[in-house]
Structures are given as structure tokens and as C-alpha cells.
Structure 1
């Protein structure tokens, strides 16, 4: 008998199963909760030191897209299921089959419990993370750009990296498409997070990604971002007096923006206005290391670790374009990207060590987890594996 089948057990049994799954989930996610609480406490302590009030506005940047991406992924999964049914020659009621998919897969008690715990832990973490990010210029005023800029040029044979790529990329539509890809990072990030966060099994891979994701952000932004406080090429001329070596790059972006919308410029203006005023929903400037690049490398590691090689290679191409876009759009020095990739590798390794240790403790206590990862139906169709039957 399928413990997840609501049509067999009914709402009351489902409610009991969900309650048990939620209760057991606290121990399953204990390591994640512990890390999130440590980050939050560190943030509260730092804010008391620098004199900033607690502000939960930035959490909206996480919770809002979470709901949107969740709806998109559920609808995408149902659409993929309809295609699978059509290809398999299914003769029954399509609506009944889709309803069963919702009941027995997307709303299965363990999946719902995993998703809720992942969301709560992430909200706690994001509260602390955004506090620390906002406090960076107060804890350590921006001062590293005059060091990073010449270092970036020296390491790239006497030319700034944007100058290397300008002959190929300084075309309006190429710039626009790189900006589209850069913005798509948000959706890829949430898709990977949902894939693991809302998994129907608690796997070692799931725990490693969720912990590695938050560890990478914490090490990259909260630790290194505070130590190496910098604003990046796009804000160099607004912060550093004298000649701006990135003026030609920003001039090109403004020229391209005159023909087609380059959204990065608008985001830059909002970030700088928030920095000057000290408030606003779009808040917090930090360039070193690049977390767009760092997290994109983390997605690559997740893709290959999951066993879906096509997905891994697709995410590799995506990460490369993010790196190129971070330079061409003026967000980062190239060395920011190199550092971000290194931080991602460190975060992934450290998460693996911690998760294996935690799972040994859980096994000793009789709390075991599944061994096989489950890919959402919409992503499964990308691989060579056949989708499961209903």
C-alpha cells in the first residue's frame, strides 16, 4: 500500500502522516537549522556593534520568487506529465492522472515536510545573511577596489578583462542576451534549490547542496565580502576619485541601453541609491568574490553529482556565460569570479564533510535517509532517463 496515496488513506491519515513527517524533519534538518541560527546570531551581534536596526525587507527578495518558481515548477511538471501520458498512449482520464500526480507526488507528506523545513531554515538564514550583507560598508568601508583593479589588469597581461572581450561582445544584441542570461541566474538558482529542497527523499546530495549553498554564500559574502570590501567596476568611478578605467565599458553599456533595455544599469542605480541613503529593498553592494559565479559553479557540481550529465554540461555553459556577463556588464573584476569559484569548491567540500558526519550520527540514532536522489519531472525529461509511471 502506498503511504502517499491520499485516495486510499483519506485526508485524516494524510494529516497524521504529514504531522509525523514534519516532526521527524526537525532532526533530519538539524544541521541546516543550526547553521542558519549561527548566521542569524552573528548578524544580530554585528548589527548591534555597527548600530543598524533589524530590517526584514530583504527577505522579500527570497520569499517572493520562491512562490513564483514553485508555481512554475509545478505547472511545468504537470505539463511534462501530460506529454509523457500522450507519448505512452494513455487512454484514461488525463485530469484524473494529473490529480493523482499532485496527490501522490507533489503533495506527498515527506515532500511537503522537506519543502517546509527547507523554506523555514532558508528564511532564518536569509534574515542573518541580508543583515550582514547590508552592514558590510559600515563594518569595513569599501577600500579594495584600487588594489583589485590593477591586480586584475596585471593578471590579464596588461589589459582589463573587459577590454579583452569588447571586440566580440560590444554588439547591442550580444550585450542584451548576456544580460538576459545574467538575470536568468535567479530562476536557475531557485530551480536548483526547489529541486533539492522539495525532494521526496532526504538524500545526502540534498543535504549537501542545501548546506553547501548557504555555506558558499556565507563564506563568500559575509566573510570574504566583509574582509575584501569592494564595489566592482560599475561603481569604481562613483567611489574612487581620479581616472575611471571602466568609463569606456560603462559608456558602451549606456549606448546599448539607448537601443535596447540593459536592465543591469537600472539595478546598479538602485543599488547605489540604497547605499547612499542607507535603506531600500535593493540593498547591499559587494563585489569580491562574485557569488553569481560561485553559485553557478555550485549548480554545476550539483548537476554532475546528481548523475545527469547533460544537465551538468548545460549548467557548465550557463556558468561560463555568467562569468563572461559579470565582466562585460561591469559587475565584477575577473578575479572576483575566480575567487567565487574557489569559494564554491570549498563550500561544496565542507558541506560534504559535515553532512557525512551528521548522517553517521543519524544512522547511529536510527534516523536513516534515502540514498537515491529524485529529479523533478520537468528536469527529468532533460536527461536520458525515462520518466516514472504514475
Structure 2
């Protein structure tokens, strides 16, 4: 909630200062204020319905079984916590998207040349994108990496809903949600610290050898949206979504992989997440979304978000546990 209030508050201040409306960014699955509650509802149904069917063992006991399952699995206290967590994520995300869109109007400069210089040094004199095109090719690899990169768009809302609904201990879901919010907030700060657009936007000729993919369509759409915002931010409903430093694809996937690892998930889940992280990192360079230092900064943001998220969640849940224990003790004394 603290992260949401801070990020959302800064977005409101920015909108007032620039004379712009706050926009709820649309995704390919619809507006986030519809998408997130809908996903949460689907996961709740997936959590409740099988248990009701198993417990009922017949049509007549369905209503009573549903009441029993809901009372056991989803008491009002837990449901309230999940709703507050989801609302906090929504406010943080909308604040992040609007603050990101305000960036060209607040900091009209670019550090892309400097970041490209660091890329050349880190790649021993080569351009990392060109190197990956030579090594991996521009056929099947482009299609596979495009699928991996775009999978992130589904991964965030689905993993959020799964963490909040299916975690046996709600603390794990709150930890992940808080870490996601911190990623958006810290990522926004990094955009303003080092404003850059990324290789695909500033050095487009380096990526002309790539075939048409879902990523190329997304990049073209984002370039058009940024042009609309820069041409007249008051006349368009578009938001500018281009910013390179740091990579939030990397930070968020690293956050998920690290929490899965620390929480002791099954080995297949842990290996899947680390593989997803590696392939995501390759795709960010391959398609020119980011420079190498952007990905390194993304790892740092992800690690810090996991740590701060755990500190905040642990303190909050410890305080809640102490409050509940005190209430129980007071009732015992009264009796």
C-alpha cells in the first residue's frame, strides 16, 4: 500500500503539473482494471470449484459444500487482504505507466550513445545485437525469442493472481505482490535517472535483418504511440512506453525466479523460471529492447525488490500476528 500510494501520488502530481489526464493503459487483454479482477476471479473459481465438487459428492450437497469450502479457504479476512494487494498492484502499475509516459516531457534528453558505448566495451568491440544475430541466426531463433519475450505480458498478471490465490501461506503471495510493486516503482526511478530509448528505437538499422515477428509488431506500435504523445500529448489517449534503462522484463522475471527459488518450489519450477530468465535476457538484446547494462540494472532492481518486499511483508504479518494474539488473550482474560 505504501508503494502504491507513493507511485500513484507522484503520477497524480505529474499529471497536474503537466496538465494531462491520468490514463489507464490498455493491454491486449483489455484495460488493467478489468483484466486483473477478472483473472483473480478465474483463479478463485479454479481454487474453489474442484474442492466443492469433491466435498459435495452429489448435487444436493453443493450449496452446503460451497459454504464450507469458502468459509475454510476464503474467510473475509484473507479475501480482504488479497483485494487490497491487488488494488495496490493496480494503482502502482497505472502510476508507473503514466510516469513512464511523462518522461519525454520531463527529461527531454537521451543517454543512448553512452549506453551503446558501454555495450561495445562489454561485448569486446562488437555490437551485442549483431553478435547474437550472427550466432543464433535470424530465422527460427527470432520466432522463439519473440514468443519468450511476449510471454512476459501474460506472465505478470497470471503469476500475480496465482501467487495471491494459490499460495498456501498468504505471506508468500503478499511478498511477491509487494516485490512486483517495488519493481515498477524502482524501475520508474531508473528511467528518470538515465533516460534512454533503447537500440531498436535509436539505432534501428541494426535490426533490419530481423523477420516480422510479434515483437516487431509491438515495437512498431510503441513507436507510433510515442510519436503521438510527442506530437500532441493532450490530443491522444496513447501512452509512451519506450524506456530502456533499466530492463523491467529482467527485473520482474528475476524477482519471480528468486522468490520461487528461496521459497523452495519443486525443482522443475525453479529450473523453468531460471531458463525463462536467461531466454528473456537474450531476447532483450537480440531485438534491441535493451543494452547490456540495462539488464544488469534490472537484476539489481529485482534483487533489491525481493529483499525490501520480504522485509516489509514480514514486518506487516508479524504485527498482524501479534495483534491477533493480543485479541485472543484479551478474550481469554474476559472469559
Give the TM interval when normalised to the shorter protein. 0.7 to 0.9
Unaligned runs of 5+ in 2: 230-235, 327-335
Q: Which stretch shifts more, 347-356 or 59-68?
A: 59-68
**1:62 offset after TM fit, Å?**
2.5
The corresponding residue for 2:100 is 133
CA change 1:96–1:332 in 2 (3 A) is farther
CA distance in 1, matches of 2:265, 2:169: 18
The corresponding residue for 1:378 is none
The corresponding residue for 2:7 is 39
Residue of structure 1 aligned with 2:69, choices 94, 99, 104: 104
CA distance in 1, matches of 2:66, 2:151: 28
- Whether the aligned pair in 1 keeps the contact of 2:47 and 2:165 (CA below 8 Å) is no
CA distance in 2, matches of 1:102, 1:332: 50
Residue of structure 2 aligned with 1:291, choices 223, 228, 248: 248
**1:70 offset after TM fit, Å?**
4.5
Residue of structure 2 aligned with 1:235, choices 189, 201, 205: 201
Q: CA RMSD in A?
A: 3.3
Taking structure 1 as the reference length, what is the TM-score of the superposition? 0.71
**1:335 offset after TM fit, Å?**
1.6
- Whether the aligned pair in 2 keeps the contact of 1:293 and 1:341 (CA below 8 Å) is yes
CA change 1:67–1:37 in 2 (3 A) is closer
**Is 1:339 equivalent to 2:259 in the alignment?**
no
Give the match's secondary structure for 1:252.
coil
- Whether the aligned pair in 1 keeps the contact of 2:7 and 2:96 (CA below 8 Å) is yes
Q: Which stretch shifts more, 155-164 or 103-112?
A: 103-112
The corresponding residue for 2:322 is 364
Give the match's secondary structure for 1:54.
coil
**1:100 offset after TM fit, Å?**
5.3
The corresponding residue for 1:210 is 177
- Write out aligned runs for 1:1-390 (5 A): 33-58=1-26, 61-66=31-36, 69-70=39-40, 73=43, 104=69, 108-110=74-76, 112-199=79-166, 203-220=170-187, 222-237=188-203, 247-248=205-206, 250-253=207-210, 256-257=211-212, 262-278=213-229, 279-281=236-238, 283-310=240-267, 311-366=269-324
The corresponding residue for 1:3 is none
**1:360 offset after TM fit, Å?**
3.3
CA distance in 2, matches of 1:170, 1:64: 40
CA distance in 2, matches of 1:122, 1:287: 22
Give the match's secondary structure for 2:20.
coil
CA distance in 2, matches of 1:156, 1:79: 53
- Whether the aligned pair in 1 keeps the contact of 2:25 and 2:97 (CA below 8 Å) is no
Unaligned runs of 5+ in 1: 1-32, 238-245, 369-390
Deviations 1:230-249 (A, max 9, x none): 11011013xxxxxxxx523x
